[in-house]
Amino acid sequence: MDFPHALRERRTRRHLSQLDLALRAGTTQRHLSFIESGRSAPGRDMVVRLAESLELPLRERNELLLAAGYAPAYPESSLDDPVLAPARTAIGHILTGHLPYPALVVDRHGDVVAANEALDLLTEGADPGLVGPGTNAYRLALHPRGMAPRILNFAEWARHILDRTSQLEDLHAELTQYVPESEPPTGHLGFAVPLQLRTSRGELSLMTTVTTFATAVDVTLAELKLEAFLPADQPTAEALQRSGHASTGGPPP
């Protein structure tokens, strides 16, 4: 995709007019019109400003720079690269600090990077091949040999997961096969639905939060998501408190 087309596609996807984007980027609508028509070639700084003004993920900012003929501005390191060691340490502390509640970190594909010990309660009974680092958290949730048989509100939770994976075409197609077609129930709350799960500690009701590294300048780090589970009622809180998992104040082993 050439740069004018790539820029125009991203601007329209965000429902911004040329004037809106020009004001955000500190330029004129006329100049932006020339850029989108290919009559003017933007400098590297202008491409970076446009990408920032569009609030693009770092991966897309690099793609926009490449389309304009410039080198990427943001590195994409391996997670085990020494440069990301402080981030790995921080992730470990966050996961441990969230105990006794379950939490995990996934990459942009939903593959598990790390998890705390409390996640074992959610994954108990699942096929070992679906659990652990490198496996896919979304597949674990919906696979018939994963968590699916113990999810009491499976239809609602599955719809939540499918919404999360809509941009991951191959995975989304696979997961769709595990979910029976059904109409949303009366009073359906969409993504706000809690996870209702049968476990050895009883039935748990869990709400989730998703946290990202908002100020990251490395593509890999920026695409990580910390998915933390919290009790949605008092019985769940008490059950998790009795689970035997306690924060030690340090990163998981």
Write the pLDDT tens digit of every residue in 148-167.
Answer: 999 999 998 999 899 989 99
**Of 120, 210, 101, 98, which Cα lies nearest the Cα of 161?**
210
Q: Over 90: is that where the pLDDT of 129 sits? A: yes
Q: What is the pTM of this model?
A: 0.84
How far apart are alpha carbons 44 and 52 in whole angstroms? 12
The reported pLDDT for the residue numbered 52 is 96
pLDDT computed for residue 214 by the predictor? 81
Fold match flag (3-67 vs 82-241):
no
Q: How confident is the model at residue 184 (pLDDT cuts 50, 70, 90)?
A: low
Q: When comparing pLDDT for 250 and 112, which is higher?
A: 112
* Residue ranges covered by each domain of the chain: 3-67, 82-241
Mean pLDDT of the chain: 91
Mapping DSSP to helix (H, G, I), strand (E, B) and coil, where does residue 22 land? helix
Instruction: Identify the H or E element spanning 160.
Output: helix 154-164
Are the C-beta atoms of 80 and 103 separated by less than 8 Å?
no
Percent of the chain residues topping a pLDDT of 90: 85
Residues 82-241, CATH architecture: 2-Layer Sandwich (3.30)
The alpha carbon of residue 122 and the mean position of all alpha carbons in its chain are separated, in whole angstroms, by: 19
In CATH, the number for domain 3-67 is 1.10.260.40
**203-to-85, 102, 193, 232 alpha-carbon distances in Å:** 38, 15, 15, 12
pLDDT of 174 above 90: yes
- pLDDT tens digit sequence for 67-118: 999 999 999 999 999 999 999 999 999 999 999 999 999 999 999 999 999 9
Q: What are the pLDDT digits (tens) for 26-45?
A: 999 999 999 999 999 999 99
**Could you read off the pLDDT of 3-16 as tens digits, one per residue?**
999 999 999 999 99
63 vs 1 pLDDT, higher one: 63
- Measure the CA–CA gap between 44 and 201, rounded to whole angstroms: 57
- Looking at residue 182, its pLDDT comes to 62
For residues 181-194, give the mean pLDDT.
61
pLDDT band at residue 215 under the 50/70/90 scheme:
confident
Site of tokens 């306690």: 246
Structure confidence at residue 180 as a pLDDT band (50, 70, 90): confident
CA 160 distance to own-chain centroid: 13
Q: How would residue 234 be classed by pLDDT, with cut points 50, 70 and 90? A: very high
The pLDDT confidence band at residue 191, using thresholds 50, 70 and 90, is low
Number of separate helices (H) and strands (E) present in the chain: 12, 5
The single residue listed with the structure tokens 């499918």 is 162
pLDDT category of residue 253 using cuts at 50, 70 and 90: very low
DSSP states of 34-99: HHHHTSSPPPHHHHHHHHHHTT--HHHHHHHHHHTT---SS----TTSGGGHHHHHHHHHHHHHTT
Which residues have C-beta within 8 Å of that of residue 185, sequence separation ≥ 6? 155, 156
